[in-house]
Chains A and B, each alone.
Chain A
Amino acid sequence: MPILELKDICKDYQQGREPVRVLKNINLTVEKGDYLAIMGPSGSGKTTLMNIIGCLDVPTSGSYILEGRDLKDLSDDDLAEVRNKHIGFVFQSFHLLPKMEAVDNVALPLLYADVPLKERRARAEEALKAVGLGERIHFLPNQLSGGQCQRVAIARAIVGNPQLLLADEPTGALDTKAGQQIMEIFRRLSGEGMTIIMITHEPSIAACADKTYRILDGELRTQEEQDEKA
């Protein structure tokens, strides 16, 4: 069974008087353990696609099946629960809460899953160790480098043991060396069976993934299809 299946996903945005179709009949099947990259220039619709895959947005038409469950007609709170249990997010700008220590930042998703405090702490520390920050669990985000912040964010994404990791330009704000480290962690997670979908516009980063898709003007193609067309 595939971990997620997108069938004929379309997304319209109202822009002025006319609705603009941002995503056009997207079909995508991702198997468990896949590591794929989606490339595209800005304005191509890749962030919209990411939001739909991440259950932050709902498609105008088409169906989205995540782990065998059709996500159609779920309420906001139900979607929040799906995000909490099944998806880990890594953002370009980290989105860490500045006044919380690394360990509390990492434990946050567990708070919303009603995990008791002690267990939250223990699991957050473990996740931080897994990304190589075992000695910095009590640091505040502004005491950490960009690469370290992104690793904290990865720890936060994996602390709830989701099946799917969504990364939106995870190296966009980092230098090459730090970016490399992040890619190494992704590679290791993939090796442990984590499904990873990564959005990027850097070919060198996309090359780290097993499979690359391209999105252009709202249409999704595999790298091969793209090459054929060109």
Chain B
Amino acid sequence: MRENIGLAFQGIWGHKMRSVLTMLGIIIGIASIITIVSTIQGTNEQIKENLIGAGNNVVTVQLNKEGRVYDMSWNPVPEGVRCITEETRQDLEKIGGVEQVSLYHTRSYVDQLFYQNTQFNGTLYGIDENFLGVYGYQVKSGRGFTESDYVNHRKVILVDTGVATNLFGGVDPVGKTLELQGDAYIVVGVVAQSKEFAPVINSMKDYQLYVNQSAGNVYIPDSLWPTAYRFDEPQSVAIKVENTDAMTTAGKEAADLLTEKQILDTTAKLDYRSEDMLEQAQQLQKMSQATNNQLIWIASISLLVGGIGVMNIMLVSVTERTSEIGLKKAIGAKKKRILLQFLTESAVLTSLGGVIGVVSGVILAQVISKIMQIPVSISVPAIGVAVVFSTLIGVVFGMLPAIQAANLNPIEALRRE
């Protein structure tokens, strides 16, 4: 067998031009498949990263009315919904896969927040001690909230980097005063998400979300929320889970638990729902995958054409080497030997084409990634499959020529020169 492979390489080397032309179909087919798969993979990972947040693995569970998030920016505080107690928070932490649970209040749109004469149009959060940890925020300058901030109801506020640039215009916000609902709050620190990411915008909703976020977020201790908004509002929940795959189940379980425990008025069409980013990401991924699968089919046609080319050349090769085959049979080569020799040759030819195709595909993917600013991710299993598949093409399309060679009549074959 090893000798057959060696001979096959000699044969390929002996007809360089012809071998390259024969392999071209396979090279193009494999290269395009590798390129497409790499781009799909890259896009999918980007979608996942953008929607889920790189490695944050946070699920939010919010109060919903008739299937939509109940936003207290424009709705009154709902009747018949309890505030979540510390005890319930601890129950949530016992759900499988859950690492940390944070309770928070939010106004997605605040109009009563000013810095000097500038009005702020961003999101306000009333946060507990876990919030920054759950979302992976780091304090960039100043400090975070301390226990005494909560206990003593200190009027302190944190801003994120978006607010620092948009509202303060480059001035260090720490120590400045913000006006919220007519009260003065001291900025104690600037926070930022530990991983920066550029979003992919696929819809108007994404765009609004992005614009909203870019305006920035401000945070006050949740103990101040009743002072600012006069009511004990039911909180939303942010749950950090161990891994991305646990997000869906942990989110659903938490939502069920909260719906059961917190909602007293079951006729109000209120319930808690988890915002499943993973599911959204998967749907987007499916969409991009579907288009790209069609591309893979088209590339496969190129492989088929390449395979037929290999068969054609192998048939020519058998004809050319009739006298060699005749001699080998005359001196005692059995059919299987001849069959194997030609099968090996076509398999080596296409495998080599496959390897060259993989290399060019990887290079092409990198070039596309540079030019079009698309992330690519080279898939190792795809490379393995491609090489094995190209070998398979050699075996399948080399079968007919090899059988023809094996069945040559040695007398006829020897007579030809």
Contacts and interface: CB of A to CB of B under 8 A. Distances in A.
B411 A77 contact: no
A84 B335 CA distance: 13
Nearest to B406: A76
Contacts of A77: 334-336
Given A77-B334, A77-B335, A97 B329 contact: no
Nearest to B417: A93
Contacts of B410: 56
Interface stretch (B21-29, B260-268, B320-328): B320-328
B66 interface: no
A76 B335 contact: yes
Given A95-B323, A95-B327, A99-B14, A112 B414 contact: no
A111 B330 contact: no
A83 B410 CA distance: 12
A57 B332 contact: no
Nearest to A96: B327
Interface in A71-92: 76-77, 80-81, 83-85, 89, 91
A141 interface: no
A113 B327 CA distance: 15
B147 interface: no
Contact of A112 (B10, B324, B337, B411): B337
Contact of B327 (A57, A97, A99, A111): A97
Interface string B267-282: 0000000000000000
B330 A112 contact: no
B414 A84 contact: no
Contact of A83 (B3, B332, B414): B332
Contacts, number: 53
Contact of A99 (B10, B330, B332, B414): B10
Interface string B50-81: 00000000000000000000000000000000
A147 interface: no
A113 B332 contact: yes
B333 interface: yes
Nearest to B415: A47
B198 interface: no
A57 B411 contact: yes
Contacts of A80: 329, 332-335
Given A97-B324, A111-B3, A156 B411 contact: no
Given A56-B411, A95-B323, A108 B331 contact: yes
Nearest to B2: A117
Contacts of A223: none
A45 interface: no
Interface residues on A, range: 20 to 34
User: Would you call the interface of chain B mostly helix, strand, loop, or mixed?
Assistant: helix
Contact of A84 (B323, B332, B417): B332
Interface string B375-417: 0000000000000000000000000000000000011001001
Contacts of A84: 331-333
A160 B330 CA distance: 13
Given A56-B410, A95-B414, A111-B3, A83 B331 contact: yes
Contacts of B3: 111
Contact of B331 (A51, A93, A99, A109): A109
B415 to A, nearest CB: 9
Contacts of B411: 51, 56-57
A109 B333 CA distance: 8
Interface in A14-48: none
Contacts of B327: 95, 97
B118 to A, nearest CB: 84
Contacts of A85: 332
A230 to B, nearest CB: 32
A83 B336 CA distance: 16
A112 B323 contact: no
A77 B406 CA distance: 11
A54 interface: yes
A54 B411 CA distance: 10
A76 B336 CA distance: 11
A91 B334 CA distance: 20
Nearest to A168: B414
A80 B409 CA distance: 12
A83 B328 contact: no
A111 B340 CA distance: 14
A75 to B, nearest CB: 9
B330 A89 contact: yes
A160 B199 CA distance: 75
Given A57-B411, A99-B14, A109 B332 contact: yes
A173 to B, nearest CB: 11
B332 A56 contact: no
Of B323, B329, B330, B334, which is in contact with the most chain A CB atoms at under 10 Å from its CB?
B330
- Nearest first, the 7 closest Cβ-Cβ pairs linking A and B are A84-B332, A112-B332, A95-B327, A77-B334, A109-B331, A112-B333, A80-B334
28 contacts: A54-B330, A56-B330, A56-B411, A76-B334, A76-B335, A77-B334, A77-B336, A80-B332, A80-B335, A81-B332, A83-B330, A83-B331, A84-B332, A85-B332, A89-B331, A93-B417, A95-B327, A95-B330, A97-B327, A99-B10, A99-B14, A108-B328, A108-B331, A109-B332, A111-B3, A112-B331, A112-B334, A160-B332
Given A77-B336, A95-B323, A108-B331, 20 more contacts: A51-B411, A56-B410, A76-B334, A80-B329, A80-B332, A81-B332, A83-B330, A83-B332, A89-B330, A89-B331, A91-B414, A97-B324, A99-B10, A99-B14, A109-B331, A112-B331, A112-B332, A112-B334, A112-B337, A160-B332
